[in-house]
Amino acid sequence: MTSAAPAPAPPAQRTPGPLVEARGLVKAFGDFTAVAGIDVAVARGEAFGFLGPNGAGKSSTMRMIGCVSPPTAGTLRVLGADPVRDGSAIRARLGVVPQRDTLDEELTVRENVLVYARYFGLSRARARAKAAELLEFAQLTDRADDKVEPLSGGMKRRLTIARALVNDPEVLLLDEPTTGLDPQARHVLWDKLFRLKRQGVTLVLTTHYMDEAEQLCDRLVVMDGGRIVAEGSPRQLIERYSTREVLELRLAAEPGGEEVARAAEVLAGGAGRTEVLPDRLLVYTDDADAVAAEAERRGIAVLSALTRRSTLEDVFLHLTGRTLVD
């Protein structure tokens, strides 16, 4: 894989100020409020993430930014313009990777890119050249003349991304780009997205994968119930909402019993926050080894102890809770 990703728009065309700017942005469907007033600003060249559980309002936000869903209230500017009035002109400069693929499965891989290029008004010759370049970038050249239907999920996703780049977009919107893919496919995609970012394409993505957010995002917001509950770089969020390390203890004592609660209380004294889970006791601390030693000194019967660095997942669970959202 040596081919370059498409170059971003020339500087002459560039919009000053944030590429995406939302103030008090609301999206309601009847009585249900999907997005309950959010403020967001995405700068050029940034990789910006919306992180949140299902139903947090991420996709609704992305559809509004993609100019295919009129906001209910608040203001939204994309590339400096109003999505409702100038939707068509804005979309001409966006690349969209929707949550559900909109590939034409009965057309070939190449035809999918060609048709999409036509939607942006590329000439046939230009579309053909662009398709060849993008399929190379997406490692799909070998499958260019195969139908889309039998391709793997990862290939379809790469094709969707290739297609979204056909107009050399200034902003690439990716709604859960790697959901449902196996680890290899995810890493290949991350590699592609990272290349685009390096070349100056502004990425706006949603995900509920913490590793994805840590890998790709310069800055992110955590959404829950249609609101933004935290904002910052992955590192800042970990510093602010978690500790440097986490100690995960499995105790010999009966889960949920008195003894566990007492152990949690004892260890919290020296460390800070603890969390009692059905099968584990989590201690959030800056020095997990010291807490482990303390537990031993206090005679707490430990079956296993795992020391790890705090991750965005800890932040996420702390902010949005452990309740399952379906």
**Closest distance between another protein and the C-beta of residue 79, in Å?**
7
Contact (CB, 8 A) for 38 and 228? yes
CA–CA gap between residue 254 and residue 70 (Å, rounded): 53
Residue type, 143: R
CA–CA gap between residue 66 and residue 22 (Å, rounded): 13
Residue 227 has phi, psi (to 5 degrees) of: -120, 160
CA–CA gap between residue 295 and residue 163 (Å, rounded): 55
Maximum CA extent, the chain? 76
**Closest distance between another protein and the C-beta of residue 256, in Å?**
44
Question: Which is nearer to another protein, 85 or 240 (by Cβ)?
Answer: 85
**Closest distance between another protein and the C-beta of residue 294, in Å?**
55
**Closest distance between another protein and the C-beta of residue 206, in Å?**
15
Pairing mode, if any, of strands 73-78 and 20-29?
antiparallel
Contact (CB, 8 A) for 220 and 50? yes
Question: Which is nearer to another protein, 53 or 169 (by Cβ)?
Answer: 169
Question: Which is nearer to another protein, 40 or 90 (by Cβ)?
Answer: 90
Residue 220 has phi, psi (to 5 degrees) of: -150, 160
Residue type, 244: R
Q: Residue 79: CA atoms inside 13 Å, Cβ hemisphere, count?
A: 25
CA–CA gap between residue 203 and residue 174 (Å, rounded): 7
Tell me the DSSP string of 224-283: ETTEEEEEE-HHHHHHHHS-SEEEEEEESSPTTSHHHHHHHHHHHHHHSEEEE-SS-EEE
**Closest distance between another protein and the C-beta of residue 286, in Å?**
46
Question: Which is nearer to another protein, 118 or 262 (by Cβ)?
Answer: 118
Question: Which is nearer to another protein, 127 or 221 (by Cβ)?
Answer: 127
Question: Which is nearer to another protein, 123 or 152 (by Cβ)?
Answer: 123
State how far the alpha carbon of 66 is from the alpha carbons of 69, 86, 250, 317, in Å. 8, 11, 46, 28
Binding residues (CB under 8 A) for another protein: these are 15, 29, 63, 66, 68-70, 79-82, 85-92, 94, 96, 98, 100-107, 111, 114-116, 118-121, 167
Nearby residues of 76 by Cβ (< 8 Å), 6 or more positions away: 20, 21, 22, 23, 25, 64, 65, 82, 83
**Closest distance between another protein and the C-beta of residue 312, in Å?**
29
Question: Which is nearer to another protein, 96 or 264 (by Cβ)?
Answer: 96
**Closest distance between another protein and the C-beta of residue 120, in Å?**
6
Question: Which is nearer to another protein, 5 or 64 (by Cβ)?
Answer: 64
**Closest distance between another protein and the C-beta of residue 62, in Å?**
11
**Closest distance between another protein and the C-beta of residue 80, in Å?**
4
Question: Which is nearer to another protein, 68 or 277 (by Cβ)?
Answer: 68
